[in-house]
Amino acid sequence: MTYVLSDIHGNLRRFESIMAQINLQPDDTLYVLGDVIDRYPDGIKILRRIMQMPNAKMLIGNHEYMMLKAIGHCKDVAEEKENTNWRQRKIWYRNGGMVTHEQLKHYRKDTRSEIFDFIWKLPTNLEVEVNGIKYKLVHASPEENYMANYWHSEDYKDSREFAVWERWNETCPVPGGYVLIFGHTPTCFFHNREPWSIWKSEKAIGIDCGGGFEYGRLSCLRLDDMQEFYSEE
């Protein structure tokens, strides 16, 4: 079975609720579309768990991207005092990064290096085919849209930054032959349903149901039969 989820945002209770429901088996695959960290206090714990799962694949989200920009080049807390990018750190903190940073301070230098090495190598997109349908998995937007429409823009440094930040909407293109699956933008922007639920159209599926917010919930979609799973409080 193939599962996709996104935007866990450090909420261990919701993550464990989803994992208990899907009961992931060794021959299953779990795709995590970024934003494992920030806002809630257990982002690093969840991230390390995903790192140890042989059947989990992850994309970089804008929150992992912000952390790298702020402190990803610092080996330990001592080095942070001299080499932190303070402008990027303020941006990260404004978006819920302080709780993640506090977590990191409790890890040894070698563990911290493993975490950063893992995140630096994360892709911005993955492709998977289930039941003859090809899916393009992204955190926010397909990089192809940057090359087609934004390469001349000053809003983004490059296509990687675009892919983790630019909010996809129904007016945006989808790479030919694929159904797009994305996180980052809460599904309440696409349909007015409470509690928040997965949004689907013919060309795209949004799966960020506000797991990083008190009034939201974490969602997971099984692509084999389109069954939806939601965290239970």
For residue range 23-50, list pLDDT tens digits in order.
999 999 999 999 999 999 999 999 999 9
Distance CA 76, CA 67 (A): 14
Of 146, 103, 122, which is closest to residue 62 (Cα–Cα)?
Answer: 122
Superfamily of domain covering 2-123+191-230? Metallo-dependent phosphatases (3.60.21.10)
Distance CA 101, CA 78 (A): 14
When pLDDT is averaged across residues 59-87 and rounded to a whole number, the result is 90
Give me the amino acid identity at 50. I
pLDDT for the residue 76: 81
Q: What are phi and psi of 50, to 5 degrees?
A: -65, -40
Report the distance separating Cα 102 and Cα 138, nearest Å.
28
> 77 falls in which pLDDT band (50, 70, 90)?
confident
- Residue 215, exposed/middle/buried by CB under 10 A (0-12, 13-18, 19+)? exposed
CA distances from 17 to 40, 54, 172, 193, 228 (A): 15, 20, 33, 21, 13
Per-residue pLDDT, 118: 97
Q: Give one DSSP letter per residue of 129-196, joined into a string.
A: EETTEEEEEESSS-HHHIIIIITT-SS-SSHHHHHHHSPP-TTS---TT-EEEE-SS-GGGT---SS-
3-class DSSP assignment, residue 5: strand
For the segment 117-137, the average pLDDT, to the nearest whole number, is 98
Residues 6+ apart with CB under 8 A from 49: none
> Using 50, 70 and 90 to split pLDDT, how confident is the model at 108?
very high
pLDDT of residue 121: 97
pLDDT at residue 142 is higher than 80: yes
Domain ranges of the chain: 2-123+191-230
pLDDT tens digit sequence for 165-197: 999 999 999 999 999 999 999 999 999 888 899
What does the pLDDT read at residue 83?
81
Residue in this structure with the two tokens 């975490």, named with its chain if needed = 115
